[in-house]
Amino acid sequence: MKMTSVEDFGLRLEKTTDVAELNSLEKCNSVAVSRNIKPEDITERLKSVHSITFAKLQDDEVAWAVAVAEKLLPETHQDRLPAHLRTGKALNQLILKRWFLTRSGLEELLNTSDPNIASIFLEVHEHHTITDEEKSKLCELAGQKGIELFWHMPKFHDNRGIKRRQ
pLDDT digits (tens, 9 = 90+) for 123-158: 887 767 788 899 999 999 999 998 999 998 776 544
Directed axis angle between helix 103-112 and helix 132-144, to 10°?
10
Query: Are 70 and 113 in contact, with CB atoms under 8 Å apart?
Result: no
Q: CA-to-CA distance for 51 and 48, rounded, in angstroms?
A: 9
Distance CA 89, CA 68 (A): 20
For residue 100, is pLDDT > 80?
Answer: yes
What is the total residue count of the chain? 166
pTM equals 0.78
- Does the structure show a pLDDT above 90 at 159? no
**Tens digits of per-residue pLDDT, 39-55?**
999 999 888 788 899 99
Secondary structure class of 97 (helix, strand, coil): strand
Provide the pLDDT confidence category of residue 84 given band limits of 50, 70 and 90: low
For 129, phi then psi, to 5°, come to -115, 15
DSSP per-residue letters across 9-39: EEEEE-STTHHHHHHT-SSEEEEEE-TT--G
Give the closest residue to 9 by CA, choosing from 30, 32, 33, 34. 30
- 2, pLDDT greater than 80: no
